[in-house]
Structure 1
Amino acid sequence: MYKQYDVIVVGAGHAGCEAAHAAATMGSSVLLITMNMHTIAQMSCNPAMGGVAKGQIVREIDALGGMSGIISDKSMIQFRMLNRSKGPAMWSPRCQSDRMKFAEEWRYALEQNLNVDFWQEMVSELLVENNKVIGVKTQLGIEIKAKAVVLTNGTFLNGLIHIGEKNFGGGRTAEGKATGITEQLVRLGFEAGRMKTGTPPRVDGRSLDYSKMEEQKGDESPNKFSYLDTKPLSEQRSCWITYTNQAVHDELKTGFDKSPMFSGRIKGLGPRYCPSVEDKINRFADKDRHQIFVEPEGWNTVEVYVNGFSTSLPEDVQYNALRKIPGFENVKMFRPGYAIEYDYFPPTQLKSTLETKLVENLFFAGQINGTTGYEEAACQGLMAGINAHQKSENKADFTLNRSEAYIGVLIDDLINKGTEEPYRMFTSRAEYRTLLRQDNADIRLTQKGFEIGLASEERVKNVNTKIEQSKFLTEELKIKKVKPDEVNNILESLGTSTLREGTSLLNLLKRPNIGIEELKTLTPEVEELIRNYSTEILEQVEINVKYESYIEKEQLMVEKVSRLENLLIPESFDYSKLTTISIEGRQKLAKIKPATIGQASRISGVSASDVSVLMVYMGR
């Protein structure tokens, strides 16, 4: 019954699902082990995918051949492109999801993959011989062998849930915690820590008065995540916005003495950029209100997610405070918010493939690495699944660098800098964000996904067509000229300078006041030319034309930095002989063992002069 697998994935959240799907699609036999088959791909917190920088990650997962984009498209109830008022490097797709349909679609996708088997039970131990993982042992004492193991335990490792003065073990509300693995890994020499996250109460949408809130609709022409032919939404559900007030804050303060966060009962650090509501009113005492997003949980449910009201205060304090929010006067609460503490392992203990340095063939992905967010977890799962397959087949490592993907930025940050608080991706973390846009993830990554056997041939054909059509339209815009008497009246009405002589459409498109839509209005011939191309192609061409100089500048920076990435450091290099660099730099280099000079330069605590000394010792 228990055959040997190529890859065992422990945990079936966002990271686990992507890991299992990737390894299985590439040809590995995969066993996905979960404590509960009914909670595969459950959205434990907010019912949404994407957002600032996170939307770019979902598109990158899709471009490589992962499933998060497809699943999101099939289960979304609203779509918005965030930051449209800013430059295209900041545009970020986000959707509201149907929580139940999201999980259903993920399970269906995994069940359709014949290389994926399932097992419902807790893994209590790893089977390790000579610092190499060879399988897992379950709570029932069953030993299952594998060439590689991916741990994606989420918040379940010694999870502890807090509501006011009450606390109890669990990895999620109404679910048990996972024990045994942390203790074993610590015995094997791993460093472990504790982190905290939280979630808001869920309420009955029938008990809310939406007339007292601001409606937040989706985009008029909703887009989607996947580069495949998933269907965009034809109808959408609105979200709503309301605000806390002084009465809400006063009510919340009555429970501060019972707050597990303020009393010190919670030891782990929580996410800086997603604080609890009690933390917000404590830290930002000058603010008399905080925004609350009222988000429906799906098409066919009345359950509502109260985004912005994450809390671990006593349930009666939560309820009384909710009732003082405009529109919530008669609210019925389905379940209270809570905080959860869990074990994680500082990610400086990982290689760039997400394989651990201490135990061969063992990979970590998701919150076990100190990250927060579905998207951050999913992309780590994808990369760990790919590399677990590659390792089991004795194939080359698959990594992405900082200039290729937000995924590369995230993993590079984690393994070099580590994190002492839940790590969340932002566009500001990427130094090449003009190159790493949401619109070109397929151009950047699909060929790479295809070469390792993950992205389909259909995806490659799609991206090649996109590249060819974009080039063709750019050439047509360069060739097509317009005369002053044809367009000057329109140019004047657009608030841009008129022409003295004929010029190309490409030159006009470079002007800040003129986009593709404005070009269409110049002449019927131009309108007919542009009408032949899809919105995707038009967007791609406009961005490339308008931001050409910025793109070229970043590409030159990439080329300069890549020279350092090509300078490999021998794995056996003895950093103790670098007596002329700082003690901190020496210790960090010895601990992390960077693979290249480029990686060494990004380690926290390693200075530019330290890197120069290292290069001298290497004969550079």
Structure 2
Amino acid sequence: MLYDVIVVGGGHAGSEAVASAANMGAQTLLITMNLQTIGQMSCNPAVGGIAKGQIVREIDALGGYMARVTDLTAIQFKMLNKSKGPAMWSPRAQSDRMRFAECWREQLEQMPNVSFFQDMVQEVLIENGKCVGVKTGIGTTFRAKCIVLTNGTFLNGVIHIGEKQFAGGRSGESNSKGITKCLEQNGFISGRMKTGTPPRVDGRSLDFSKMILQNGDKNPKKFSFSETTTPLKVQKPCYLSHTNMLTHEYLKEGFERSPMFNGSIKSIGPRYCPSIEDKINRFTDRESHQIFSEPEGWNTAEIYVNGFSTSLPADIQEKALKTIPGFENVRFFRPGYAIEYDYFPPTQLKHNLETKLVENLFFAGQINGTTGYEEADAQGLMAGINATLKAQEREPFVLERDQGYIGVLIDDLITKGTEEPYRMFTSRAEYRMLLRQDNADQRLMPLAHKLGILNDKAMAVLEKKVSRYKELISYFEKTSVLPKDINPVLKKVKSSPVAQSDKLFKFLSRPSVRAKDMINVTPVKSFIQKGKYTDEEIEQLEIKVKYSGYIEKEKRNALRLKELSNIKIPKAFNYSNIMSLSFEAREKLSKIRPNTLLQASLISGVSPSDVSVLLVYIGR
């Protein structure tokens, strides 16, 4: 059988790639080494967080499944950064780890276009510069119009625990061999990266009374925009503790045996998620570090020790952990470990995640040098969409930087590359006021509908929602309020009183005035009650009123940059002949081959003067 799309790997990127391809009508085959670990949470049992939560909501708006699976398996929900502006609000949820993987498999098995096969893919079949299929370890060959590789940490993976090293792609699972060699033989450049994970411990051996309770939100929301999921009614708590100087002394005892310090690990790990030994070594002035106890599910005693990622010897891990309040009698389920694996620098890809060297071959996830479930899942979604579009002979789907964090993620990878595991932050997005988590549906659902991923019913729900936002805003723009009605509110929030009537919009624009303060004001109360507006709709009103100036400014900036995105660079453009370009610019432009002047301007090492030179040579 000739498949439309074959996805290799059943992790977060692979699962989402399969789902998006199948929902677009592609006959899709998932090949994975173990069908029991589809959608496995290899590290922490949580989804979302700073910037990552925005990505998950964008995945959902584009028809992806991560948000829905998270809602269906969540045990706690928090909206982070609520004390800051709405551009920084980021949803995060703890999930039931076993149920999360089970739910992902259930979702995929319900899709009629999805087939499964359990084996290790050892060879990518390439004919005349095009990828045509794969060959597995037992010699079975599968052919397809497009192939998506989502191999995670499995490519020649090596696990480190102190002096011990052994092959593996994840604890208790073998690594994957053959693909790296096959790709290198076809001209691809590979590298090595490192990541790590903390020990898992028995919650029955911990004394939570010595720790600080960390509850979820009092009125939790949810990730998915879909009406098929609901917010949590009951939540499970996490707990916070801290290391101390004795902990640090015991950890230092193991430094000579640490693969991070004795040269066993040569690759670079994630800068923003360092191991505990790296924290102790780099921040010598710190007397303590936060340690979170996160439950792995509703009905399990297993605890994830967040903040204690390590590759130190197991005896050192246990000795140090027992010095932390609440962990004095800790029993291990398994020690923490580091893992090194192969990746392929993402500058070898096009913006649709298809490789430049081989047609019909797509990469997604940690194979591209990223870290984190959310970053991987987003790439899987986009690779699955674009592999299907290629198989259907349709135009690629690429998000711009002002359209989504997913656009920022992929553009950063393709134009800048990465030499350390890439993690998304709000600071990476220059349009983060436009790219809020609350408006992901308004930004991206129309695009998903056009692609054929979302149905008319979902669009009708969105259109009704947007219509209600506009009703509220219009009412506040047109309706005036008397001083006697608004002054009590202004006095309460310590804002200057007024002597004459003015529009509701103007009063809500004041920094100290909140929408909830105005709900009971005479002209507002009857309108809100009549329309039965939800808390979410009122929150949207406040965001749009208070931040309208900032939003419009970002939109204008985005339009200016769009002018550069409209200037195409010829595919055969010869940068090496332009001596007025800096040497670094010539080298990087020749390697990355950007499609537009905007992409060229975002490449690290390409200066504004280099862009001006290109403008001249392109004839603009």
Provide structure 2 residue ranges, at least 5 long, that are not aligned to the other structure.
none
For residue 593 of structure 1, what is the aligned residue in structure 2?
593
Q: Residue type of the partner of 1:12?
A: G
Range that drifts further, 318-327 or 531-540:
531-540
For residue 226 of structure 2, what is the aligned residue in structure 1?
228
Q: Output aligned runs, 1:298-313, within 5 Å.
A: 298-313=297-312
Please say if residues 489 and 518 of structure 2, whose CA atoms lie closer than 8 Å, have aligned partners that are also in contact. no
Q: Residue type of the partner of 1:407?
A: I
Q: Output aligned runs, 1:72-221, within 5 Å.
A: 72-221=70-219
Q: Residue type of the partner of 1:458?
A: K
Q: CA deviation at 1:527?
A: 2.5
For the residues of structure 1 that align with 2:574 and 2:322, how far apart are their CA atoms?
63
For residue 560 of structure 1, what is the aligned residue in structure 2?
560
CA deviation string 1:324-368 (max 9, x = no partner): 110001111100000000000000000000000001000000000
For the residues of structure 2 that align with 1:295 and 1:286, how far apart are their CA atoms?
27
Q: Is 1:438 the equivalent of 2:437? A: yes
Q: Is 1:69 the equivalent of 2:61? A: no
For the residues of structure 2 that align with 1:457 and 1:15, how far apart are their CA atoms?
27
SS at 1:247's partner residue?
helix
Q: Residue type of the partner of 2:369?
A: G
SS at 1:339's partner residue?
strand
For the residues of structure 1 that align with 2:113 and 2:408, how far apart are their CA atoms?
31
Q: Is 1:616 the equivalent of 2:613? A: no
Q: Output aligned runs, 1:347-496, within 5 Å.
A: 347-496=346-495
SS at 1:263's partner residue?
coil
Q: Is 1:572 the equivalent of 2:582? A: no
Q: Is 1:584 the equivalent of 2:564? A: no
SS at 1:300's partner residue?
coil
RMSD: 0.9
Q: Residue type of the partner of 1:70?
A: R
Q: Residue type of the partner of 2:2?
A: Q
Q: CA deviation at 1:416?
A: 0.5
CA deviation string 1:288-317 (max 9, x = no partner): 100001100010101000000000001011
Q: Residue type of the partner of 1:373?
A: G
Please say if residues 14 and 378 of structure 1, whose CA atoms lie closer than 8 Å, have aligned partners that are also in contact. yes
Q: CA deviation at 1:404?
A: 0.2
Range that drifts further, 490-499 or 304-313:
490-499
1:528 maps to which of 521, 526, 530: 526
Range that drifts further, 609-618 or 440-449:
609-618
Q: Output aligned runs, 1:237-386, within 5 Å.
A: 237-386=236-385
Please say if residues 489 and 517 of structure 2, whose CA atoms lie closer than 8 Å, have aligned partners that are also in contact. no
CA deviation string 1:193-233 (max 9, x = no partner): 00000000000111110110000100011011111111100
For the residues of structure 1 that align with 2:319 and 2:427, how far apart are their CA atoms?
38
For the residues of structure 2 that align with 1:20 and 1:192, how far apart are their CA atoms?
25
CA deviation string 1:16-46 (max 9, x = no partner): 0000000010000000010001100000000
Q: CA deviation at 1:492?
A: 1.1
Please say if residues 78 and 96 of structure 1, whose CA atoms lie closer than 8 Å, have aligned partners that are also in contact. yes
Please say if residues 65 and 456 of structure 1, whose CA atoms lie closer than 8 Å, have aligned partners that are also in contact. no
SS at 1:404's partner residue?
coil
CA deviation string 1:257-276 (max 9, x = no partner): 10000001001100000000
For the residues of structure 2 that align with 1:247 and 1:575, how far apart are their CA atoms?
58
Provide structure 1 residue ranges, at least 5 long, that are not aligned to the other structure.
none
Please say if residues 227 and 459 of structure 1, whose CA atoms lie closer than 8 Å, have aligned partners that are also in contact. no
For the residues of structure 2 that align with 1:583 and 1:273, how far apart are their CA atoms?
31
For the residues of structure 2 that align with 1:106 and 1:172, how far apart are their CA atoms?
19
For the residues of structure 1 that align with 2:226 and 2:536, how far apart are their CA atoms?
13
CA deviation string 1:125-151 (max 9, x = no partner): 001001110000000111110000000
Please say if residues 508 and 545 of structure 2, whose CA atoms lie closer than 8 Å, have aligned partners that are also in contact. yes
For the residues of structure 1 that align with 2:32 and 2:526, how far apart are their CA atoms?
55
For the residues of structure 2 that align with 1:478 and 1:411, how far apart are their CA atoms?
39
SS at 1:550's partner residue?
helix
SS at 1:114's partner residue?
coil
CA deviation string 1:356-399 (max 9, x = no partner): 00010000000000000000000000000000000011000000
Please say if residues 243 and 289 of structure 2, whose CA atoms lie closer than 8 Å, have aligned partners that are also in contact. yes
For the residues of structure 1 that align with 2:274 and 2:588, how far apart are their CA atoms?
31
For the residues of structure 1 that align with 2:131 and 2:249, how far apart are their CA atoms?
53
Q: Residue type of the partner of 1:324?
A: T
Range that drifts further, 496-505 or 167-176:
496-505
For the residues of structure 1 that align with 2:564 and 2:454, how far apart are their CA atoms?
30
Range that drifts further, 484-493 or 422-431:
484-493
Q: CA deviation at 1:526?
A: 2.0
For the residues of structure 1 that align with 2:289 and 2:222, how far apart are their CA atoms?
30
Q: CA deviation at 1:576?
A: 2.2
Q: CA deviation at 1:530?
A: 2.5
Please say if residues 5 and 28 of structure 2, whose CA atoms lie closer than 8 Å, have aligned partners that are also in contact. yes
For the residues of structure 1 that align with 2:405 and 2:457, how far apart are their CA atoms?
24
Q: Residue type of the partner of 1:211?
A: S
For the residues of structure 2 that align with 1:530 and 1:246, how far apart are their CA atoms?
56
Please say if residues 5 and 388 of structure 2, whose CA atoms lie closer than 8 Å, have aligned partners that are also in contact. yes
Q: CA deviation at 1:520?
A: 1.4
Q: CA deviation at 1:58?
A: 0.1
SS at 1:260's partner residue?
coil
SS at 2:505's partner residue?
helix
For the residues of structure 1 that align with 2:348 and 2:568, how far apart are their CA atoms?
19
SS at 2:297's partner residue?
coil
Please say if residues 390 and 397 of structure 1, whose CA atoms lie closer than 8 Å, have aligned partners that are also in contact. yes
Q: Residue type of the partner of 1:406?
A: Y
For residue 26 of structure 2, what is the aligned residue in structure 1?
28
Q: TM-score, normalised on structure 2?
A: 0.99
Q: TM-score, normalised on structure 1?
A: 0.99
Q: Which runs of 4+ in 1 moved over 6 A?
A: none
Please say if residues 197 and 339 of structure 1, whose CA atoms lie closer than 8 Å, have aligned partners that are also in contact. yes
For residue 543 of structure 1, what is the aligned residue in structure 2?
543
Please say if residues 78 and 233 of structure 1, whose CA atoms lie closer than 8 Å, have aligned partners that are also in contact. yes
For the residues of structure 1 that align with 2:177 and 2:493, how far apart are their CA atoms?
65
Overall identity of the aligned pairs, in %: 60
SS at 1:419's partner residue?
coil
CA deviation string 1:459-479 (max 9, x = no partner): 211211121111111111223
SS at 1:38's partner residue?
helix
Q: CA deviation at 1:499?
A: 1.5
Range that drifts further, 533-542 or 123-132:
533-542
SS at 1:507's partner residue?
helix
Q: CA deviation at 1:457?
A: 2.1
